[in-house]
Amino acid sequence: MDWQFKVGLGAAFIFGLLPFAVKDMPHWVTWPGLTIGGLFIFWGLIPHHDNFPILPCVLFIGFSAAAAATAAWGYDLYAERASQPNVTLVAECGVFQPNSPANRYVTIIRMTKNGEVNTQGFAGGTTPQQAGILPQNANPFVWPCQLTNYGPVPVFSLTATLKLSLHEMMPADSNGGSRSSPEAKIKSTIPLLISKIDVGPSNAVTLIFMNLTPFTAIVQMPSGLEAEPLNDKRQFIPLSHPNLQGDVPIPFTLPAFEGELK
């Protein structure tokens, strides 16, 4: 039994048992090892193998192992993508669709006494009037955005960060009109956390945005959300917009609030 056969047998034994010792061992580790072991064994079994120069044979085995690693990496990548469910999240903003109050998430943009931006909200069918934030007769402008899951499985623990900028109203012309200042007076973010979106339009989640500051608020929807599809790992899911081409985030404007707060 020559050294080539012994080396090949040892490599094949080690890399053959490695997947059983280490859970989820990637193929790009085991396949090259098995390739090295198989080629060394084959080298040792060839008649008159001592006549083969060592360096070219070792280089050939090394290149073969690299090719096996590349093929295994491609296989793992393809298998990972094929196993992921094709979840499609669609955002439709500006139109309020009736749905269950439990599927509503309200974000209220306010200014604290210290001049800081507060974007806390609440989930469910509670209104700002019921929460004691606004008087009962107040009727602020609201902007809804509906998120619908058209994929095959529910998604859980959805998170994203929306960009927020507050602009001061500036006189536009002598006619008494007004416009927002081009530069943002305050820049902030709105954290978004949704526990679950089930499949189908009837289970869509409605995001409701309300601006209670004396500034014009511009909110930009994200290009996607981090989420966990059912029986899958956490991943980035693009957010598509039917009224735009591609995954372009949607910006929308909330006018300044001119009423009285509690």
Is the pLDDT confidence value at 79 over 90? no
Token couple for 78: 């393809």
Per-residue DSSP letter, 11: H
Over range 59-76, report the average pLDDT. 83
Is the pLDDT confidence value at 234 over 70? yes
In angstroms, rounded to a whole number, what is the distance separating the alpha carbons of residues 250 and 239? 10
For the chain, what is the mean pLDDT?
80
Angstrom distances, CA of residue 222 to CA of 125, 128, 184, 194: 24, 25, 19, 14
Give me the residue label for tokens 């295994």.
72
- pTM over the 0.75 mark: no
Rounded to the nearest angstrom, the gap between the alpha carbon of residue 139 and the centroid of all alpha carbons in its chain is 35
Is the pLDDT confidence value at 179 over 70? no
* pLDDT above 70 as % of the chain: 81
Backbone φ, ψ for residue 31 (5° rounding): -60, -45
Amino acid 27: pLDDT: 77
Q: What is the pLDDT of residues 104-159, one digit of tens each?
A: 888 989 988 888 899 988 877 677 777 777 777 777 788 888 899 988 899 999 99
Task: Using pLDDT thresholds of 50, 70 and 90, give the confidence band for residue 226.
Answer: very high
Q: What is the pLDDT of residues 8-48, one digit of tens each?
A: 777 777 777 766 666 667 777 787 888 887 887 787 777 77
Amino acid 28: pLDDT: 76
Amino acid 99: pLDDT: 59
Asked if 151 contacts 200 with a C-beta cutoff of 8 angstroms, the reply is no
Is the pLDDT confidence value at 169 over 80? no
Is the pLDDT confidence value at 245 over 60? no
Task: Using pLDDT thresholds of 50, 70 and 90, give the confidence band for residue 84.
Answer: low
Is the pLDDT confidence value at 60 over 60? yes
Token couple for 258: 């001119």
Over range 91-101, report the average pLDDT. 70
Amino acid 222: pLDDT: 87
Amino acid 177: pLDDT: 57
Is the pLDDT confidence value at 56 over 90? no
Residue 176: which residues within 8 A CB-CB, separation 6 or more?
Answer: none
Distance between terminal CA atoms of the chain? Answer: 91
Alpha helices in the chain (DSSP H): 3-21, 27-45, 54-83
In angstroms, rounded to a whole number, what is the distance separating the alpha carbons of residues 130 and 77? 51
